[in-house]
Amino acid sequence: MPSPDGPGAAAGPAAPATQGGAGRAPFGARLWAAMQAKGPLCVGIDPHPGLLAAWGLPDTPGGLRSFSLAALEAVAPLAAAVKPQVALYERHGSAGMAALEELLAAASQAGVLTIADAKRGDIGSTMAGYADAWLRDGSTLAADAVTLSPYLGFESLRPALDLAAANGRGVFVLALTSNPEGASVQHVGGSESVARRIAGAAAVENQRYARDVLGSVGLVVGATVGSALADLGIDLSAVRGPILAPGLGAQGATGADLRATFGASYPAVLATSSRGILAAGPDVAALRAATREALQGL
């Protein structure tokens, strides 16, 4: 992981080890530069029915479109990335997915990194199909990064890992989530826990990137996991990839909590807030004020 006082602190990361599709730098390098320029905040774009109603919008594909584009307009100047929750678009079928495609295209035009929160995971040709949808240049669903579930085995993600690297995109692999049920799988094994093995596999993947560049294989680690990292002996600094940490704001985590939880790996943490910011809408000025407030604590 780059040092906060080293490459990327002022002028962006060192030259990437490889170039991806369309000549773009690797995702990790682009994310590090965005975090240095704007701060370590990702805004989740989650068009829940309740939020749509609070914004005076219908729970329809048209409502999703209006919600998504307004949220993007508000946070684009301030957030290092946006993270649309794919399930909330899928529930409206093809028209909902069309709204997601429009959001991804608009974010690209605005120069804002996108993380598709799809949590895909499968084997063989099915995993290759998911990779093709979310990581292939030219796909209407292509995002800068996508969330993946490794619970069919980390190596089952190989098609996505390789396509992301080839195209300068990234992945965030679920490692240690804060939902109570997660511990029943992720904590199994104690000092050799499933979560620790996933972190170790991500570290191996990031060896393809120069040591002074943030890798493009990140992990999802909940902002509210408390002492779990220490209890399981997981050293996230060794991963040398970004850490997507949902839970800031409405779920109760603060900037101080993030620093205490992640310790030396905190510089690589991309904190995520969704409802805590979106609840301020639909007024653009109010959304920007909520985004600035979230950033102040990081």
Residue pair 218/202 in contact (Cβ under 8 Å)? The answer is yes
**Looking at 48, 119, 187, 208, which residue is catalytic?**
119
3-state class of 279 per DSSP?
coil
Q: Which one, of 99, 253, 13, lies nearest residue 244 by Cα?
A: 253
Q: Which one, of 140, 253, 146, 152, lies nearest residue 194 by Cα?
A: 152
Query: CA 206 to CA 79: how far, in whole Å?
Result: 25
List alpha helices for the chain, DSSP H. 27-38, 49-54, 61-75, 87-90, 93-110, 124-135, 158-166, 183-186, 194-205, 228-231, 255-262, 275-278, 284-296
Would you call 38 a catalytic residue per the annotation?
no
Residue pair 229/236 in contact (Cβ under 8 Å)? The answer is yes
Which helix or strand (DSSP H or E) is residue 196 part of?
helix 194-205
Query: CA 216 to CA 240: how far, in whole Å?
Result: 9
| 15 phi/psi in degrees, rounded to 5 | -55, 130
Residue pair 119/174 in contact (Cβ under 8 Å)? The answer is yes
Q: Which residues are catalytic?
A: 119
